[in-house]
Amino acid sequence: MSDPRRAVVFVHGAGGGGWEWDAWARVFAAEGWRVFAPDLQPAADGLAATRLADYRAQVADGLARARREADRVALVGASLGGLLVLLEGAQADARVLVNPMPPAGLPADPSPAVIPWRRRASLAGTRRAIPEADDAAALLAFQRWRDESGAVMDAARAGVALPASRAPTLVMASRDDTDVPFEASAALAGSLGAAFLPLAGSHVAPLLGRDAPAVAALAAQWLETPVGGTSVPMLLGERHRD
């Protein structure tokens, strides 16, 4: 049974959905957390009209809803969701960022109004993108990828200013991430004074790979401890490096 005193809000990345957090949701629910894993919704006029502010407002609303139902609220975000957590999670009790898009930005060419990830997806391409996933997880991802707003991605890649926050933060970063450089996540953790945990694998592996439950368990373990320091436990042969 969930503990009404604590809740976690999961924020997914671009082109994904709340389903990306299924493994994490099971782990956190088993530990007694009230779990929220909503889908980020496009604007009323569709993805082409969707802006970063639309997603930010949804994350803020999710945090406010969880706050009404719990005394302690953690925000957990991956990729674009990690950046959204940084932007709207200043009042969270703790934050976990998984391969977050860096607020300093990422170099990229301008995007079309709608990035056709769903239309261009293939099962073979999904397997290549998540070599750590089993066949069932790869098939699920292939079936559920969605298109994304080009304006949202352009704004995120251009860089954003972060609000001040004292929320204890854990940054988890995949060494083989080709979307968000490992070094960018390490630098972000340093600038935030955050705990930092290197992981093996690719960009989405912490959520959809075979080891996703173990990664989720470490995040939950960190949230259970008196947070605020930079020490994190060992995972799959990796150890925090100061």
Q: What is the pLDDT of residues 92-110, one digit of tens each?
A: 999 999 999 999 999 999 9
- Number of domains observed in the structure of the chain: 1
Q: Report percent pLDDT > 70 for the chain.
A: 91
**Mean pLDDT within 63-86:** 97
* Whole-prediction pTM: 0.92
Is residue 84 predicted with pLDDT exceeding 60?
Answer: yes
Any domain includes 110? yes
Which pLDDT does position 232 carry in this prediction? 58
What would the mean pLDDT of 78-105 be, rounded to a whole number?
97
Point out which residues pair with 171 in neighbouring strands.
Answer: 97, 196
The answer, yes or no, to whether residue 156 has pLDDT greater than 60, is yes
Question: What's the confidence (pLDDT) of residue 148?
Answer: 98
Q: How far apart are CA 64 and CA 178, in angstroms?
A: 33
Q: Provide the domain limits for residue 115.
A: 6-224
What are 198's strand-pairing partners?
173
- In-domain check, residue 77: yes
- Which pLDDT value is given to residue 191? 96
> Does any domain span residue 234?
no
pLDDT tens column, 130-141? 999 999 999 999
238 domain-assigned = no
Domain contains 237: no
Mean pLDDT of 79-91: 97
Q: Return the pLDDT at 231.
A: 52
> Does 231 fall in a domain?
no
Strands (DSSP E) found in the chain: 6-11, 34-36, 72-78, 94-98, 114-115, 148-149, 169-174, 195-199
Contact in structure between 96 and 170 (CB atoms under 8 Å): yes
Across 115-128, average pLDDT? 93
Residue 114 predicted with pLDDT over 70 = yes
**Strand duo 34-36 + 169-174: pairing:** unpaired
Does residue 229 lie in a domain region?
A: no
Question: What's 85's domain CATH number?
Answer: 3.40.50.1820
Has residue 37 been placed in a domain?
A: yes
Q: What is the pLDDT of residues 187-230, one digit of tens each?
A: 999 999 999 999 999 999 999 999 999 999 999 999 988 655 55
